[in-house]
Structure 1
């Protein structure tokens, strides 16, 4: 990828790996290092930053352009998932750690996905972890997951909880993820 671009406007971004909000000013030269799930990881003179899908126009990218999606299968999605839970899993496959070119489902970061009926409607309950407990991007990744789940019409609420047990390890990566990372 590594596309060199000059920002067409000021844009809010998330510093990687700290997770701190930063402002990238108009005219800043960036290099796109990863474009997955509608978000863009860019290299700046001050390090890496993540630009969200809502701000892709600052990169000179048409926000309405279709992006190719992931295949609809993953060995990390339970076979007994309900049809609505499958929709949630598919939305989670659009969420990426900005430093790793594999979605959070195939990385094995999602430990649980349930849809429960509550007084206010249907709620998706997600438990997930991170590749490292000190990752400053955790809240950003969890918020991205929650916002993508909320695009499902039948879902009225979503909770994404970060958990640390069991500790994540590379053995949790799906076969699809291992192929993308060159581990097989």
Structure 2
């Protein structure tokens, strides 16, 4: 689950990575709920995220895209992604309403 960005810089990084899409689903990682936390300390950003599955073939590409977009934020000179498997991604709980509709999930 998303830990809300706490600082302006964390919000800037979060908004910058909002455009990164899962190439298989065609939706933003943020909208899918795959971004769990953005941490910024000084000029370093750390993004904690997951993939839709442990065998996601697009995982490395998505991680690199997240890093590239984090580095676009003024004042961010280093960025890293930590991929975690807990909590397990559950689109029914973590995806936005728009993403659920796109994926055909109706609660």
- TM-score, scaled relative to structure 1: 0.52
Name the larger-Rg structure: 1
> Are the equivalent residues in 1 in contact too, given 2:3–2:37 (CA < 8 A)?
no
Residues in 2 aligned to 1:127 and 1:183: alpha-carbon distance in whole angstroms: 25
Q: CA RMSD in A?
A: 1.7
**After TM superposition, where is structure 1 displaced by more than 3 Å over at least 4 residues in a row?**
179-184
> By how many angstroms is 1:180 displaced?
3.8
**Residue of structure 2 aligned with 1:176, choices 89, 92, 98:** 98
> Are the equivalent residues in 2 in contact too, given 1:77–1:89 (CA < 8 A)?
no
Structure in which a larger fraction of residues adopt helix: 2
> Are the equivalent residues in 1 in contact too, given 2:3–2:36 (CA < 8 A)?
no
The yes-or-no answer on 1:143 pairing with 2:64 is yes
After superposition, the C-alpha distances for 1:58-113 in whole angstroms (9 at most, x for unaligned) are xxxxxxxxxxxxxxxxxx672x5311111111111111111112100110101111
Structure in which a larger fraction of residues adopt strand: 1
Higher RCO structure, 1 or 2 (CA under 8 Å, sep 6+): 2
In structure 2, runs of 5+ residues without a counterpart are none
> What is the aligned partner in structure 2 of residue 108 from structure 1?
33
In structure 1, runs of 5+ residues without a counterpart are 1-75
- TM-score, scaled relative to structure 2: 0.86
Number of aligned residues:
104
What SS does the corresponding residue of 1:141 show, helix, strand or coil? helix
Residues in 2 aligned to 1:77 and 1:103: alpha-carbon distance in whole angstroms: 17
